[in-house]
């Protein structure tokens, strides 16, 4: 299981997006959400199987099948405006995660992605450690399990 947080700071004209996709008024009440790859491996360089699983900025707990190889590449996430399946953009993560044999619950950090303008320019992607906060939140959901940090490198 991966544990972490993704925060997308999007300085965009959401009214334009709302109108472009012809959404009904009820959609305006929905939070934006993050689509995370449902399968991960060092061989999948597109992270093609995306599923929406958590609100933007919330702590996430993502189950994954332990790969045969000891590395997982996380290339991108999808940012879903108003949690709409089709109103989404792909945003870069570009991280390589080292997985040890006994690792089961892995903290991968907090990613903050700053997107600006209606052409969705990614201004900055930062990755930082909030392990203590994640560990406390994790313990509420999985009190008998141990959360571990993993080695994460940037994919060049």
- Give 78-135 pLDDT, tens digit per residue: 899 898 888 888 899 999 888 877 788 999 999 999 998 878 899 999 999 999 999 9
Quote the CA–CA distance of 17 and 15 in Å, as a whole number.
5
Which residue is listed with tokens 């089709």? 86
pTM of the model: 0.86
Question: Which tokens go with 65?
Answer: 């099948």
- Cβ count within 10 A of residue 101: 7
The residues facing 98 across adjacent strands are 71
Which residue is listed with tokens 């892995």? 106
pLDDT of 71: 83
pLDDT of 7: 94
- Give 35-86 pLDDT, tens digit per residue: 887 666 545 555 556 666 788 899 999 887 776 778 888 888 989 989 888 8
Quote the CA–CA distance of 105 and 92 in Å, as a whole number.
23
User: Which residues make Cβ contacts (< 8 Å) with residue 8, sequence separation at least 6?
Assistant: 32, 34, 56, 57, 79, 91, 112, 113, 115
Quote the CA–CA distance of 87 and 16 in Å, as a whole number.
11
């Amino acid at each position: 299981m991966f544990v972490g947080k993704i925060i997308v700071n999007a300085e965009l004209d959401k009214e334009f997006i709302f109108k472009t996709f012809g959404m009904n008024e009820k959609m305006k009440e929905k939070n934006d959400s993050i689509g995370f790859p449902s399968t991960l491996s060092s061989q999948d360089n597109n992270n093609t199987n995306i599923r929406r699983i958590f609100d933007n900025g919330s702590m996430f707990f993502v189950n994954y099948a332990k790969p045969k190889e000891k590395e997982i590449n996380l290339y991108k996430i999808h940012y879903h405006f108003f949690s709409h399946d089709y109103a989404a953009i792909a945003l870069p993560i570009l991280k390589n995660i080292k997985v040890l044999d006994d690792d089961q619950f892995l903290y991968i950090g907090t990613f903050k992605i700053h997107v600006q303008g209606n052409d969705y320019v990614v201004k900055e992607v930062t990755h930082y450690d909030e392990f203590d906060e994640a560990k406390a939140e994790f313990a509420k959901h999985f009190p008998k399990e141990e959360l571990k940090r993993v080695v994460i490198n940037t994919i060049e």
